[in-house]
Structure 1
Amino acid sequence: MNDFRVLKLLDRLEGLFCRAGIDYGVMRSILQVKLTMDGRRAPTVLAATQRSAEPKEGSPFRPQWVYLIMGTFLIPLIIPSGHYMLQMSLVLGVVMFMITTTLVSDFSSVLLDLRDKNILFSKPVNRRTLNMAKNIHVLIYLFTLTLSLAGPTLIVSLFRQGPLFFLLYCVAIVLMNCFILVITGFLYLLILKLFDGERLKDIINYVQIVLMIAITVGYQLISRLFNLAEFSASFIPAWWQYLIPPVWFAAPFELAFGGGRGIHFSVLSGLAIILPLLLIIIYIKLMPQFEKSLQKLSAQEVGGREAARLSGWLSTVVCRSREEGMFFRFTWSMMKTERDFKLKVYPTLGFSIVFPFIFILNMIWLGDGGGIGNSKTYLFIYFSATLMMTVVQMLRYSGSYKGAWIYKVIPLPGDHTVYRGMLKAALLRLFVPVFLAEAVVFTVLYGVRILPDLVVVLFANFIYAVLCFLLLPRSLPFSERFEAAKQKEFTGSSFLMLFLLIGMVGLHYLATLLTGGVYIYLVLLAVGNYLLWRRTFPEGKRTKPSGMSNMDIF
C-alpha cells in the first residue's frame, strides 16, 4: 500500500492524538487502507470522466476540476480592498454552502457506515480510534474539496492582499471545515439518541432536507446583511447576524484589515475562533457515544404494514395491470428502504421545496412584496419539478444491484410495464407530496384564484416526468451499482430538461393572458398526458436498456 503524504503530515500530530486517547498506530493503518481502497474507485465528482465501470488503481486525490472551476468565479470578490466584511462573507458563504451540501449528500454514508465494524470490532480496536479514523477520512476529502473551491482565491489573496491575509484566510477555512463537520456530527448524534432502527434512518433523511433548506435560505440572507448603493457597502449590525456562521469567519478580516471596531466585530470574531475549537473538544469526548448509538442503524423495522397497505392500494388505483402494480410496489419499497438512494436523493427534496419560495423572497426583499398576491409569480412552483431530474437519474442505482437478474427470468409482456410502474411510484412517493405541500402555501399566499393554475402545473409536471425519462439513457430500476454512475451521460440532458421546464412556465404564462386560456390549456395537458404515457409505455413491447449487457446484472 502507498504511504500517502497526508499520513506523513498526520505523523507530526501523533502526540496530540495519543493524549486524546487514540491508538495512533491503529488509526493510521485504518486510514491507509481506506485511502488505498478509495484510489481503486472513481470519485463521484469525476465519474463523468470514467469510461469503464470497473474501478482502476490510482490516487484518491485526483483534481476535482468541477469545484476548481467554480472556485475561479469567486476571484473577483477577493481582489478589491476596503469592504472585507462584505467580500469575505460572500466568499466564505459560497464555500460553506458548497462544502456542507457535498458533505450531507456524499459523506453521510461514510459517517453512518457500519460495514467495517464486523471486521474491526473483532480486533483490538477501541471505538474512539475507529470513529476518529472515520472522521479524519472525511476531513481529508473535505479539505481536498475546500482547496479545490478556495484554492484560486487563496492564490490571488496571497499576491493581492498580502501574506497575513493569506494566513488568516487559511485559518478561517480550517476552522470553518471543523465547524461544519462537528455540527453535522452533533445533528446525527442527537437523532441517534432520540430514535431507533428504521425510524432513525428516515429521521436522518428528513434532517438532511431541513438542513438543505436552512443552508439555502441562510446563504440568501448573507447578501442582505449589507446596504449596497453606488458600489459602496456598509455593514449594519443586527442580532440575527450572530446566527449566520459565514459572518463569524468574515469578522476577523474586518478587524485586522478593514479597520472595523466595536464589540460587534469582536464577538463575531470570538465565535469564529472559540466555538469551533470548543465543539471539537466536546465532539471528541462524545465520539464513543456516537459510535455506540450508531449501532441502532443496524436494527430492522418489524412493522411496515401500513406503508405496504398504502402502496398496495395506490397500485390498484393508478396501475393498469397486475404486473405494473407489482413494479409500482417494488419501486415504492426500494425508495423507502434503500439507504444509499435516500442519502443521495433526499437532500434534493430540500432544494425542490425551497427554490420556488426563494424567488418570491427576493421580490419581498427588493420591496416588491406588496403586489405579489395579484401577480403571476405563483408560476415559480414549477421549479419544484427539478426534483424529478435527480430522481429519474438515480432510480437506476442500488446497493443491491446484483438482484437485477430477476428482470431476466420474470415472464413479462414488456419492460415498459416496469418503467411505467417505476415512474408512477416515484411521482406519487416523492414529487406529489412536495407539490401538494407547496400548493397549500401558495394558495394561502395568492388565494383560491390560483387553484386551476395549480392543477395545470400538476398535469404539466406529469408530462415533464415522462420527458425526463425519455431524455435520459434507459436502465431498469435499481439494476446498477452507485459506483458505476456516469455523469457525462446526464450533463447535456440536465440542461435540456431545465430549458424544457422553463418552456412549460412560458406556455402557462401565455395561457393566463387569454380569457379561459388556463382551462383550455388544462384540457390540452390532460389529452397530452394520456397520449404521451400511452405512446411512451406501450403494452407488450420489450426493449434493451442502454448501457446494460445481458451479463451486466450477474
Structure 2
Amino acid sequence: MQDYRALKLLDRFEKVFSSFGVDYKIMRRLLQVKLTMDGRRVPTIFSENKKNKNKEDSNQFIKSLWIYVLFGLFMIPFLFIGNNLLFQMSFFYGIFTFFIMTTMISDFSSVLLDIRDRNILFPKPVDRKTMSTAKMVHVLIYLSFLTIAFVGIPLIVVLAKKGILFFLISVVNIILIDLLIVVLTALIYIFILRFFDGEKLKDIINYVQIGLSLMIMVGYQLLIRSFEFIDLTISLEPRWWQIFIFPMWYGANTEMILNGEFQLFYVIFTVLGILVPFLSIWTFMRLNSTFEQSLQKLAYHGNAKKRKRSKMGQALLRIICRSHEERAFFRFASSTMKNERDFKLKVYPSLGFSIVIPFIFIMNSYDTDLNHLSASKSYLTIYFSLIIIPTIMVLLKYSGKYKGAWIFRVVPINHLKPMFSGTIKAFILKLYLPVYLFLSALFIVLFGVSIVPDLVVVFLNACIYAVICFMILKKSIPFSESFVEYNQKSNGGVLFGLMLFVALFAGLHFASTFVSYGIYLYLIIAIIFLGVIWKVAFNITWEKILS
C-alpha cells in the first residue's frame, strides 16, 4: 500500500496520540487502509468508461476540490470590508464555518458513524479507542484538504497584504475551528447514541443532522445582525447571546492581538476560542471508547411498523392518480422518500432552508420594524421557497439502494409516463406541500387572509416549476443511481439556470397585482398551463432514458 504524505506528517504527532492511550502504529495502519480504499472507490460514471480503468487509484474527492477553490476566491473581498477587524474576520470565519459544517454533516458524518469494519476489527486485538481515533483522524485528513482548497488563496492574499502575524493568527484560528467542528459533531452523536437505540436512533440522528444544517443558517444570520451599519461605520454592541456564535470568538482574538483591544468582551471570546476546542478534544478522547460501544446500536434494525391505509387516503389517491400504475409508483416514491435515510439527509435540510429563507429576506428588508409589513407585497418572498425544487428534482434519481433498480427492467411497464408522473406527484404532495402549507400559515398570520389567492398561485407555479425542471434535467429512472455518482457530478450551471424561472414567476405575479382582479386571471392561466404542460412532459420512452 502507498505510504501517504498525510501519514508521514502525522508521524510527528505520534507521542501526542500515545499520551491519550492510542496505539499509534495500529491507528496508522487503519488510516493507510482507509485512504487506500478511498482511492479505489470509483463512481459509477467512471466504471463504465474504459478510458478510466487505469485511474481507479486516484481519489475523486481530491479531484473535486477545485469547486472549493472557486468559492474561496469569493471570500477574498470580505477580508477588506471596512476597518473593523472583528467584523471582517467574524464574517470570514462565519462563511468558512458554514461551508465546513455543511460538508461535515453531509459527507463525513457517515464516516464517523460507519460500522462496516467492526466485523473485521473486533476479533482482532484492536483497542476501541484506537478505532474511534482513526475515524476522527480520517475525517480530519479530508477536512484539511478541503480547508486548504477553500482558504489557501485567501490566506496567501492575507500574507501579502496584511503581514505574517495576521497570517499566522488566521491559520491557527482555522485549525481551531476545524477541530471544534469535528469534535462537537462527534460529541453530539455520542450524546444521541447514549440515550436512543434501534430504528428510533437512526431517525433521531437524521433529524439532528437536519437541525444542525438549519442552525448553521440561523447562526449565520445572527452573526450578521450582531453588527450595526451606520453611515458606512460598522459597530458592535455586545449581547449575551453572541457568546454562542463561535466564529466571533476568532474575530475577537484577531481584533485583540492586532489592535490591542483588551476589553473584557474580547478577552472572554479569545479564551473561549482557545479553551473550548481543546476541552472538546479532551472530552471526546475520554468518551470515544463509549462512542465505539454505542455504535453497535446502529446495527440493530428493529421491526418495521406496518400502517394500515385509511379509506379516505385511498380515495384521495384515486383522485390524484388515475391509473393503477401511477398509484403504484406514487406509493413506491412516497415510501422511499419517507424511509430512506440517505435520501432524507440530502433533501430534508433543503426543505428546512425553504422555510427559513423567505423570512430572512423579510427581516433583512424590515429589520425590526414590521408595522408596515401587512400592507406591503413582501409576501412574494415566498417564491424563495421554490429555489430548492431543482435540487430535489435532481436527487429523485438517486438512492442508497440503487442496485434494486433492475426491477424496472423486469416489470412489464408499457409506458413510462405513470412512473415519472407518480414520482413527481409524490414529491409535490409528500415533501413540498406540507412545508408549503406550514409556510403559508405563517404568511397568513403576517399578511392577512387576503393573500390566500396569491398563495394558491404560488403553489400552482411550484407545480409548473417542478415539471419544467423535469423537462430540462437529464432523464433517469427514479431512485436508480448511486449517491456516490451524485457527489461527483456538477449540476451547478443547470440548477442556476433553472432558478431564473423562479424570478420569472415572481415577476409575472408581481405584475398581476397592478391589474384589477389580475391575481384571479393569473390563477386561471396557471391552472390551464399546468394541465397542458403536465400532459406533454412525461411522454418519455426507454430510448430517451438509455441515450
1:36 aligned onto 2:65: no
Q: Is the 8 A contact 1:82 1:258 kept in 2?
A: no
- Counterpart secondary structure, 1:234: strand
Aligned position for 2:75: 74
* Cα separation, partners in 2 of 1:292 and 1:429, compared to 1, 3 Å: farther
Aligned position for 1:341: 343
Aligned position for 1:360: 362
* Cα separation, partners in 2 of 1:56 and 1:494, compared to 1, 3 Å: same
CA deviation string 1:291-318 (max 9, x = no partner): 2222222222424323866986664342
Q: Is the 8 A contact 2:206 2:341 kept in 1?
A: no
- Counterpart secondary structure, 1:372: coil
CA distance in structure 2 between the aligned counterparts of 1:68 and 1:275, rounded to whole angstroms: 29
> 1:335 offset after TM fit, Å?
1.7
1:248 aligned onto 2:272: no
What letter is aligned with 1:22? V
CA distance in structure 2 between the aligned counterparts of 1:90 and 1:178, rounded to whole angstroms: 19
What letter is aligned with 1:162? G
What aligned pairs does 1:483-522 form with structure 2 within 5 A after superposition?
483-485=484-486, 490-522=491-523
CA distance in structure 2 between the aligned counterparts of 1:224 and 1:402, rounded to whole angstroms: 47
Q: Is the 8 A contact 2:210 2:345 kept in 1?
A: no
> 1:290 offset after TM fit, Å?
2.0
CA distance in structure 2 between the aligned counterparts of 1:136 and 1:314, rounded to whole angstroms: 52
- After superposing the two structures, state which structure 1 stretch, 374-383 or 81-90, moved more: 81-90
CA deviation string 1:252-290 (max 9, x = no partner): 111111221211110010110001110111011111222
1:370 aligned onto 2:367: no
* Cα separation, partners in 2 of 1:217 and 1:42, compared to 1, 3 Å: farther
What letter is aligned with 1:465? A
* Cα separation, partners in 2 of 1:487 and 1:384, compared to 1, 3 Å: farther
What letter is aligned with 1:39? G
Q: Superposition RMSD on alpha carbons, in Å?
A: 2.5
What letter is aligned with 1:542? T
- Counterpart secondary structure, 1:67: helix
- Counterpart secondary structure, 2:238: coil
Question: Between Structure 1 and Structure 2, how many residues are aligned?
Answer: 542
* Cα separation, partners in 2 of 1:61 and 1:529, compared to 1, 3 Å: closer
Aligned position for 1:524: 525
What letter is aligned with 2:390? M
Aligned position for 1:284: 285
> 1:91 offset after TM fit, Å?
0.7
What aligned pairs does 1:5-16 form with structure 2 within 5 A after superposition?
5-16=5-16
> 1:466 offset after TM fit, Å?
0.8
> 1:448 offset after TM fit, Å?
1.0
CA deviation string 1:318-341 (max 9, x = no partner): 211111111111111222232222
CA distance in structure 2 between the aligned counterparts of 1:81 and 1:486, rounded to whole angstroms: 37
> 1:488 offset after TM fit, Å?
5.4
What letter is aligned with 1:93? G
What aligned pairs does 1:8-157 form with structure 2 within 5 A after superposition?
8-41=8-41, 56-59=56-59, 61-62=62-63, 64-79=65-80, 82-157=83-158
Q: Is the 8 A contact 1:452 1:518 kept in 2?
A: yes
CA distance in structure 2 between the aligned counterparts of 1:337 and 1:51, rounded to whole angstroms: 36
- Counterpart secondary structure, 2:452: helix
What aligned pairs does 1:218-237 form with structure 2 within 5 A after superposition?
218-237=219-238
- Counterpart secondary structure, 2:125: coil
> 1:526 offset after TM fit, Å?
1.6
CA distance in structure 2 between the aligned counterparts of 1:516 and 1:297, rounded to whole angstroms: 57
CA distance in structure 2 between the aligned counterparts of 1:294 and 1:386, rounded to whole angstroms: 36
CA distance in structure 2 between the aligned counterparts of 1:520 and 1:193, rounded to whole angstroms: 57
> 1:441 offset after TM fit, Å?
0.9
Q: Is the 8 A contact 1:413 1:542 kept in 2?
A: no
- Counterpart secondary structure, 1:371: coil
Aligned position for 1:543: 542
Q: Is the 8 A contact 1:384 1:434 kept in 2?
A: no
CA distance in structure 1 between the aligned counterparts of 2:251 and 2:201, rounded to whole angstroms: 36
CA distance in structure 2 between the aligned counterparts of 1:537 and 1:79, rounded to whole angstroms: 51
CA distance in structure 2 between the aligned counterparts of 1:51 and 1:506, rounded to whole angstroms: 48
CA distance in structure 2 between the aligned counterparts of 1:119 and 1:223, rounded to whole angstroms: 48
> 1:124 offset after TM fit, Å?
2.2
Q: Is the 8 A contact 1:39 1:57 kept in 2?
A: yes
Aligned position for 1:552: none
CA deviation string 1:400-424 (max 9, x = no partner): 2221111111111211211111111
Q: Once the two structures are aligned, what percentage of the paired residues are identical?
A: 45
Q: Is the 8 A contact 2:391 2:495 kept in 1?
A: no
Gaps of 5+ in 2: none
CA deviation string 1:115-173 (max 9, x = no partner): 22222223222222111111111111112111112112211222222222211111111
CA distance in structure 2 between the aligned counterparts of 1:29 and 1:374, rounded to whole angstroms: 66
Q: Is the 8 A contact 1:213 1:353 kept in 2?
A: no
> 1:426 offset after TM fit, Å?
1.4
Q: Is the 8 A contact 2:326 2:422 kept in 1?
A: yes
CA distance in structure 2 between the aligned counterparts of 1:467 and 1:228, rounded to whole angstroms: 41
TM-score by length of 1: 0.92
* Cα separation, partners in 2 of 1:441 and 1:278, compared to 1, 3 Å: same
What aligned pairs does 1:259-274 form with structure 2 within 5 A after superposition?
259-274=260-275
Aligned position for 1:275: 276
TM-score by length of 2: 0.93
What letter is aligned with 1:122? P
What letter is aligned with 1:23? D
* Cα separation, partners in 2 of 1:42 and 1:251, compared to 1, 3 Å: farther
* Cα separation, partners in 2 of 1:79 and 1:446, compared to 1, 3 Å: closer
- After superposing the two structures, state which structure 1 stretch, 367-376 or 377-386, moved more: 367-376
Q: Is the 8 A contact 1:472 1:490 kept in 2?
A: no
Gaps of 5+ in 1: 550-554
CA distance in structure 2 between the aligned counterparts of 1:459 and 1:78, rounded to whole angstroms: 43
Q: Is the 8 A contact 1:205 1:346 kept in 2?
A: no
CA distance in structure 1 between the aligned counterparts of 2:122 and 2:263, rounded to whole angstroms: 53
- After superposing the two structures, state which structure 1 stretch, 245-254 or 487-496, moved more: 487-496
What aligned pairs does 1:469-488 form with structure 2 within 5 A after superposition?
469-485=470-486
- After superposing the two structures, state which structure 1 stretch, 73-82 or 217-226, moved more: 73-82
- Counterpart secondary structure, 1:334: helix
* Cα separation, partners in 2 of 1:58 and 1:201, compared to 1, 3 Å: same
* Cα separation, partners in 2 of 1:406 and 1:112, compared to 1, 3 Å: same
What letter is aligned with 2:453? P
CA distance in structure 2 between the aligned counterparts of 1:202 and 1:211, rounded to whole angstroms: 14
Aligned position for 2:429: 428
Aligned position for 2:324: 322
CA deviation string 1:165-193 (max 9, x = no partner): 21111111111111111222222222223
What letter is aligned with 1:405? W
What letter is aligned with 1:124? P
CA deviation string 1:355-401 (max 9, x = no partner): 11110110232x65321111111111122122321211111122222
CA distance in structure 1 between the aligned counterparts of 2:481 and 2:252, rounded to whole angstroms: 47
What aligned pairs does 1:188-203 form with structure 2 within 5 A after superposition?
188-203=189-204
What letter is aligned with 1:544? E
CA distance in structure 1 between the aligned counterparts of 2:108 and 2:217, rounded to whole angstroms: 19
CA distance in structure 2 between the aligned counterparts of 1:204 and 1:215, rounded to whole angstroms: 17
